[in-house]
Amino acid sequence: MSVVVPALHRDPVWGPNVEAFDPDRFTPERAAARPPHAYKPFGTGERACIGNRFALHEATLVLGLLLHRYTVDDHTNYQLKIVQALTIKPEGFTLRLRRRTPQDRAVATPGISAATAPATTMRAPGTPLLVLHGSNLGSTRRWADTLAARAEDAGFTVTRSALDDAADGLPTDRPVLVVAASYNGRPTDDAEKFVGRLDDAGSGELTGVRYGVLGVGDRNWSATYQRIPTLIDDRLAAGGAQRLVERGEADNSIGLAAGAEPGSTAPSPHCSTRSVRRRPRWRPPPPATGCTNSTRPTSTPPCTPGPSP
Ligand code: HEM
Ligand SMILES: Cc1cc2nc3c(=O)[nH]c(=O)nc-3n(C[C@H](O)[C@H](O)[C@H](O)COP(=O)(O)O)c2cc1C
């Protein structure tokens, strides 16, 4: 089957004026209202562009650096005219750049200063927390790093590890935070053993484990979006583990910058002020019953054995 991509990107699902430059077409709400396959600049399926995220990060970075350093002036009142070579590009398009001064920046960010930044409060001093990541290329691992750092700020004593390191058992003396990704619906290399073991977990085998899951995925893989985080969340619950927070989702298809502060906004490839789509807004689990420094005693063993292979 052949798909004419320029025609696809001008389909009526894009609205009445497809030629207008309108970054708001890519707001999470409007993107969710369109069929997921209406946008295919990077191809599709298993042979989709492997440079997809690199290209979007590079574009965001270059644009961010330029706008940070320069004010741009459309000195010719340019009207778009496209020329086609190997790719398409605007013909005869030039901008005049002027270096931004500290004064320009102060005007652009009213009210933002170190003095007004919220202070961190220690809410869980000494509470142990295990953060487990499943990551091939590092973005999910960076999410785990960010969440671990945030938890440490809140007072948790955090241990970090790959999911497979916990394939033989999950602790019951501390909450467990799983941050995982999928590749064509399959686990990352460092999570295969863990997911395989969960497949065989009997009911009640994970009693005493308390956990939360943050899934990192990409809606371009619409049929298997968030498959592994969802599977981990479901299987842990089915094995008798206690879900402390609803599963969170980070969607890379909207240009989510890996390592962006959870709960903040992140730069997007299409619109620099758009919020990160996250459902629901994710935070580290609260210090809960059964923690070693909890006032409530726990009778559960320190470690529930993992499901047998
Ligand atoms: C905005 C920039 C880019 C666009 C629009 C783009 C688009 C595409 C498209 C449409 C395909 C074909 C997918 C298919 O066959 O269905 C593709 C494949 C590919 N792209 Fe890109 N690409 C971009 C940047 C990059 C970069 C920066 C790299 C490398 C760092 C890269 C590496 C590749 C590779 C290796 C393939 C072949 C993948 C395979 O056949 O398994 N691309 N790209
Ligand atoms: C080849 C490939 C396949 C992918 N398959 C899926 C998928 O099935 N479901 C999904 O939600 N995300 C999928 N993604 C998106 C990745 O899970 C996402 O980019 C994640 O951040 C990768 O994590 P990592 O950088 O830690 O390896 C895929 C990405 C690539 C490059």
Cα–Cα dist 147/208, whole Å:
23
pLDDT digits (tens, 9 = 90+) for 101-111: 766 776 665 55
Q: CA-CA distance, 160 to 179, in Å (whole number)? A: 11
Within a domain: residue 115? no
Assigned token pair, 68: 């940070």
Atom of ligand 2 nearest to the CA of 46: 1
CA 128 to chain centre: 24
Q: 10 Å Cβ neighbour count for 275?
A: 13
Mean pLDDT of 272-300: 37
Ligand nearest the Cα of residue 59 is 1
- Asked if residue 50 is part of any domain, the answer here is no
Q: Ligand 2 pocket: which of 53, 136, 178, 182 to mutate (most atoms <8 Å of CB)?
A: 182
ω into 309 cis (within 30 of 0)? no
Q: What is the pLDDT of residue 13?
A: 95
Q: pLDDT (tens digit, 9 = 90+) per residue, 201-236?
A: 888 899 999 999 999 999 999 999 999 999 999 999
Q: Which of 46, 49, 184 to mutate to test the pocket of ligand 1 (most atoms within 8 A of CB)?
A: 49
What does the alpha-carbon distance between residue 85 and residue 226 come to, in Å, rounded to a whole number?
38
* CATH number of the CATH domain containing 209: 3.40.50.360
pLDDT tens by residue, 17-35: 898 889 899 899 999 999 9
Cβ distance 179 to 147 under 8 Å?
yes
- Asked if the model's pLDDT at residue 168 lies above 60, the reply is yes
Assess contact for 134 and 194: CB atoms under 8 A. yes
Q: Residue 207 domain-assigned? A: yes
Residue 85 lies in a domain: no
pTM: 0.53
Q: Is the pLDDT of residue 248 over 80?
A: yes
Structural domain of 140? 128-305
Closest residue CA from atom 29 of ligand 2: 183
Name the residue of 42, 57, 86, 221 whose CB sits within 8 Å of the most ligand 1 atoms, as the mutation to test its pocket: 42
SS3 breakdown of the chain: % helix, strand, coil, rounded to 5?
Answer: 30, 20, 50
CA–centroid distance, 218 to ligand 2, in Å, is 6
Instruction: Give the ligand at the shortest distance from the Cα of 57.
Output: 1
What is the distance between the alpha carbons of residues 282 and 181, in angstroms, rounded to a whole number? 16
Q: How much distance in Å is there from the Cα of 252 to the middle of ligand 2? A: 8
Output the six-digit token pair for 76.
Answer: 């010719």
Tell me the CA distances in angstroms from 20 to 15, 96, 205, one per residue in order. 10, 23, 57
| Tally of domains within the chain | 1
Whether residue 165 is contained in a domain is answered as: yes
Model confidence band, residue 302 (pLDDT cutoffs 50, 70, 90): very low
Residue 60 has pLDDT above 60, yes or no: yes
Distance CA 79, CA 217 (A): 38
CA of 41 to the centre of ligand 1 (A): 9
In a domain, 162, yes or no: yes
Tell me the CA–centroid distance for residue 74 and ligand 2, in Å.
Answer: 38
Q: Which two tokens stand for residue 150?
A: 């945030």
40 located within any domain: no
pLDDT category, 100, cuts 50, 70, 90? confident
Predicted confidence at residue 93, as pLDDT, reads 95
Res 307: pLDDT: 37
Find the 141 Cα to ligand 2 centroid distance in Å: 13
Q: Which atom of ligand 2 is nearest to the CA of 141?
A: 26
Q: Which of 218, 297, 207, 301 is nearest to 258 (CA)?
A: 218
Mean pLDDT of the chain: 80
- For residue 283, being part of any structural domain is answered with yes
Identify which of 282, 153, 267 has the alpha carbon closest to the alpha carbon of residue 214: 282
